[in-house]
Amino acid sequence: MCPQADDPTSPVPNGIESSSAAAAVSEPAVAAEEGFKRPRRAKAARITVVGVLGELLITAGVLVLLFLGWQLWWNDMIMANSQSEAASQISQDWIAQDTSTAEPAPSVDPAEPNAAAAPADYGVPVVGSAPANAQAFAVLYVPRFGADYHRTIAEGTGHDVLNSNRLGIGHYKGTEMPGEVGNFAVAAHRSAFGGGMHLINELQLGDAIYVQTADGYYTYRYRDTEYVAPSQVQVLASVPNNPTASAVDRIITLTSCNPLYSTAERIIAYGVLESWQPLSAGAPAELAPIIAAQG
């Protein structure tokens, strides 16, 4: 094409021009081969405001979708794993400390020889004192949430507990402690941040809810679920929904969001204490393999 620029008046370029134009109409394949780069580049080089704006808006949409994927799946999975690992660590530490410090306890404990024969009665559950904010004091096991489900319970229900990589389940301040007469109430996210209560709606009557502390194992049995408005704090009362009554039962209350991926309501699951045993007595039968698998 260079020679024709030297002599624009020459009839030859005109001839080429018209022949190539004719080729473009009659033979698209040849035209594409000849002039592929040039027209395409000329078009792509034009950066328009509308074009850039459009691309930015599409990018923004993609980034928002990616955020949801990150929050609800990727980060949720990472946090669930790290919370689970931290809970295993705490549980193992307690067991290790307990056997090292309280080794002679079984021989002193009169209930211990009967432990293998029948479910021993270890008397009134030991109740720990209220820990400081964000301090881990218990590990929650709910086989219905998965055989390897275990999460740390820490004091308080602020973001420093619920959104923590290490904790995840928060104990409502002012509610009772594990094993205590009254209401041991905890909260966790339903989705994202490790989703500690993701499967709370799957609980069935009689399902075990185990709480392990530095003192022992508290076995609760799931009883019922209710759905309430986020403002309904009466579910945290020592006798749930009856703040003026004096407590008799030892209750555990799990609270989370409902519906899944929404915060419009709260789902509340109640359980009642079935038994208690000290750490030195070992874990309850269903829990023993789960505890052993942590080591």
Partner 1 sequence: MYAALWRVLPGPIWVRIILVLILVVAVLAVLATWVYPWIDGIINNQEATVGGA
Question: Which residue among 51, 243, 259, 289 contacts partner 1 (CB under 8 A)?
Answer: 51
Q: Which is nearer to partner 1, 21 or 66 (CB)?
A: 66
Helix (H) or strand (E) holding 58: helix 49-69
- What is the per-residue binding string for partner 1 in 74-113, x denoting contact by CB under 8 A? xx--------------------------------------
Which window, 98-106, 112-120, 144-152, 255-263, contacts partner 1 (CB under 8 A)?
255-263
Strand partners, 18: none
Which window, 20-28, 42-50, 116-124, 209-217, contacts partner 1 (CB under 8 A)?
42-50
Distance CA 283, CA 158 (A): 30
Q: Which of 150, 170, 153 has its CA nearest to residue 283? A: 150
Q: Which residues have C-beta within 8 Å of that of residue 169, sequence separation ≥ 6?
A: 140, 151, 152, 153, 154, 161, 162, 186, 187, 188, 196
Is residue 269 within 8 Å of residue 278, measured between CB atoms? no
Distance CA 35, CA 16 (A): 14
Q: Which is nearer to partner 1, 25 or 44 (CB)?
A: 44
Determine if 135 is a binding residue for partner 1 (CB under 8 A): no
- Concatenate the DSSP letters of all residues of 157-186 into one string: -SHHHHT-SS-EEEEPTTSPPTTSSEEEEE
Determine if 47 is a binding residue for partner 1 (CB under 8 A): yes
Determine if 166 is a binding residue for partner 1 (CB under 8 A): no
Chain residues binding partner 1 by CB under 8 A are 41, 44-45, 47, 51-52, 55-56, 63, 66-67, 70-71, 74-75, 157-159, 162, 170, 172, 187-193, 197, 228, 230-233, 235-236, 255-257, 263, 266, 268
